[in-house]
Amino acid sequence: MKQVIGRFAPSPTGPLHLGSLVAAVGSYLFARQAGGLWLMRMEDLDTPRVVPGMADDILHTLEALGFTWDGEVVRQSSRTAAYGAALAELARIGMVYPCGCSRAEIARIGSAPHGREDVLHYPGFCRNGLPAGKSPRAIRVRVADEPVTFKDGVMGEISENLGESCGDFVVKRADGPFAYQLAVVVDDGEARVNQVVRGADLLHSTPRQIYLQRLLGFASPGYCHLPLVTGPDGAKLSKRENAVSLADGRNLRKEGGKLLFASLRFLGQKPPALLERASCREILEWGVTCFDPAVIPRLPAPLALK
């Protein structure tokens, strides 16, 4: 059997918040219970949105909460050569092309006929060459008109036809950076990550990532998408809401155990009441021993802090 290699990959565009804490707890317990590695990656590729100092604050916050990770922290901002090599390989096999369309032009066409409201469907204007008068902006990958199907460890079977839902998608953005989808696939593939546990807001990124994995010759990890933490009104939490951060003034020596205990309960676990008063390290150790993935709920919900 292969050693499990999991990872946690926060984006330093804001502080660690309750939703990202739940993702950290879930990914950590999945990996550690299997006796596997838990890697740390900073997804800081979108430099205009990165908040200075936030990456270090996230790492210090996680350390204060008792988390330990294996190896050095990987920072996407230092890996552009690897992403460039992957893009060159996609070009070599004829699977990418330059696109001269603006987002506004694409939006005027409307959403995908069979897609999702949250995805802007690309209708393929530049698929067979740049139209007259257009200059190259982004680079897109050609998608097949067939379903990408996988079985998620929490959400069950997921199937999406990329041709219908999003069309040819961007792998290098018009403003310069490599796209998230390409960077994540290269990072996970080169680190031999075989277990991805993350929030359900990324569930529909997974078919695009699996598609790129197949094109680039990477094995697809097993996926588990955890339910989203919402506000009391059911809306998704923003980065600034319910921040769990040393920089935000949280006293994690006092509150850390309570936050971890609540995260376990949110994930359907039943930690004994006395554990809430234990240290962060003791709570995580209980989780590694007693974690039961089968009881993780699928539906989003608020995270109850007593």
- Which residues are part of the catalytic machinery? 239
Question: Would you give the distance in Å from CA 106 to the centre of its chain?
Answer: 25
Instruction: Name the packing angle between helices 80-92 and 180-190 (round to 10°).
Output: 100
Distance CA 280, CA 74 (A): 25
Distance CA 295, CA 293 (A): 6
Whole-angstrom distance, CA of residue 189 vs CA of residue 202: 18
* Structure token digits, residue 184: 């994540």
What CA–CA distance (Å, rounded) separates 184 from 188? 6
